[in-house]
Amino acid sequence: MSSPIQTFLLLGASGDLAGRLLLPALGDLLEAEPGRRDLVLVGAGAEDWDDATWQDRVRSSFTAAKVSPATLDAVLATTRYQQTDVTDAAALSALIASCAAPPALYFALPPAVTVRACTALLDVDLPEGTVLVLEKPFGTDQASAADLNGLLTRLVPEAQVHRVDHFLGRSTVLNLLGLRFANRLFEPVWNNLHVERVDIVFDEQLALENRARYYDSAGALMDMIQSHLLQVLALVAMEPPAAVNETDLRDAEAQVLRACRVRGGDPAAAGRRARYTAGHVDERDIPDYAAEPGVDASRGTETLAELVVEVDNSRWAGVPFRLRSGKALGVKRKEVLITFKPATHVPVGLRGDALPDRLRLVMGPDRITLGLTVNGPDDPMELDHVELDVDLGAGRLPPYGEVLAGVLDGDPLLSVRGDTAEQCWRIVDPVLAAWRAGDVPLDTYPAGSDGPADWA
Ligand code: BG6
């Protein structure tokens, strides 16, 4: 397919996000969809690079993504680099004027620089149809997210703002739409009459990986739960949208998030936090988080966070949604787990335990498992347990590739709407405040463990 967006303007092109994630994802997308190869990629950043240095960067990122020579050559033929102060209106104006309209401006920049760049854009005549793409974190709390939304509204219409959450591009997450709404089986039981609890877990083995500058001022709650896991919750818990389009789907997401509050309305009791100490993950030595270069231990940044959220509506009242994510854990566990209530009555004569049915959606590589109780193979009256297990593979594109496809199509379906971003902060702001006030202890866990011993 060809794209309405003909110019992809990458601000912060010399930075880590661009080289490590965005350029490889763009390569994957252009490889999968050759009709997009006429896209002009323009890199802009603080570094004093010439076109050849920039092309080397594109080449190495595309090669890492195993992109074919045809795709690479098509991009190299037109790509260029312009050294730019992205916070200066005149420089941005010249940069944008040099592009074929309408461009997509991707702010691959630290959040504070993104805000300054957007402020500078107030003095730039943006071509009709310009798309703005912003990375997380979107603001630092509800008030700053609202301010940023106000600023963006002065630049382009909301539908042309893409707030990136790459979890919305994960095939497992997208599959929630097909699984929930294109089957007869699940929707009738997708409520508090039948569901006992929902766990949305993203436990990583990765530790800090030299990201102290960003991570130490964010922590697990902001880095993962405020953004990614609440987006997943929205897709799990939302009402069925009439259509999967940017209006209906995003209305449904926003509506369910508006109904969310932390368990019992008590921010100090609804969450737990912990930080890893030295240990081993998969034979790798992991130093104490507090001793990592760039970490300010006195900040008390958590590397593992858990938050229980309630969805205060008739479908979900009483069902806990436990969101958890952490780093340097012994076992990688990335999944949505729906635990159903026990059968209403197991007939006398069937022996053994009827375990709750459990539907598990595993994120990347995608897998769906359904744990059921059946009659055992030996004694037919003895209950046994089986797991139906389907491997769905890795998805057509990495999550960032799906996100970029939406950007180039000018379709914000898979991006976070402004009101939704504010809702996510509304939910976690009081928890962050309780943690900062020291109302919740910072537990510890050795790297390579499952978390603090008493969290089980
Ligand atoms: C990022 C977080 O947004 O998502 C990281 O900043 C996290 O801390 C990452 O590791 C997880 O997503 P993925 O797709 O890289 O597994």
Q: What is the pLDDT of residue 393?
A: 85
The H helix count followed by the E strand count for the chain is 14, 19
Residues 355 and 440 in one domain: yes
Residue to probe by mutation, ligand 1, list 138, 224, 232, 402, most atoms within 8 Å of CB: 224
Ligand 1 within 6 A of 302 CB?
A: no
* 382 CB-near residues (< 8 Å, 6+ apart): 350, 351, 352, 375, 376
Q: Domain total for the chain?
A: 2
Task: Quote helix, strand, coil % in the chain, to nearest 5.
Answer: 40, 25, 35
Instruction: Mark whether 123 and 177 lie in a shared domain.
Output: no
Whether 400 is in a domain gets the answer no
Whether residue 291 is contained in a domain is answered as: yes
Distance CA 422, CA 138 (A): 9
What DSSP state is assigned to residue 316? T
* Same domain as 98, residue 48: yes
Tell me: do 71 and 186 sit in the same domain: no
Tokens of 163: 């707030």
pLDDT at 23: 97
Q: Is the dihedral of CA 259, 262, 263, 267 positive or negative?
A: negative
Same domain, 376 and 236: yes
- Whole-number pLDDT of residue 2: 42
> CA–CA separation, 278 vs 391, rounded Å?
35
Residues with pLDDT less than 70, the chain = 1-3
Domain residues for 101? 7-135
Find out whether the beta carbon of 135 lies less than 6 Å from any atom of ligand 1. Answer: no
Is the same domain home to 62 and 187? no
Same domain, 219 and 323: yes
166 catalytic, yes or no? no
Q: How far is CA 195 from CA 128, 143, 307, 329, in A?
A: 47, 34, 19, 28
Q: Do 237 and 305 have their domain in common?
A: yes
In a domain, 424, yes or no: yes
CA 220 vs CA 227, 302, 347: distances in Å:
10, 6, 46
Among 87, 109, 135, residue at a domain's last position: 135
Ligand 1 site-directed mutation target among 172, 223, 304, most atoms within 8 Å of CB: 223
Ligand 1 midpoint to CA 383 (Å): 41
The CB of 223 under 6 Å from ligand 1? The reply is yes
List the one residue out of 314, 318, 291 whose CA is nearest residue 303. Answer: 291
Q: How far apart, in whole angstroms, are the C-alpha atoms of residue 162 and residue 188? A: 33
pLDDT at 3 (0 to 100): 56
- Kindly state whether residues 271 and 315 are assigned to the same domain: yes
As to burial, measured by CB atoms within 10 angstroms (0-12 exposed, 13-18 middle, 19+ buried), residue 298 is exposed
**Same-domain check for residues 210 and 111:** no
183 shares a domain with 108: no
Looking up residue 259, the CATH number of its domain turns out to be: 3.30.360.10
Q: Which of 166, 194, 228, 385 is catalytic?
A: 228
DSSP assigned state of 382 = B
Please list, residue by residue across 135-174, b when 16 or more beta carbons sit within 10 angstroms of its beta carbon and e when fewer do.
Answer: bbbbbbbbebbbebbeebeebbeeebbbbbbbbbbbbbbb
Q: Is residue 159 part of a domain?
A: no
Per the CB < 8 A criterion, the answer to whether 439 and 320 are in contact is no
243 shares its domain with 104 = no
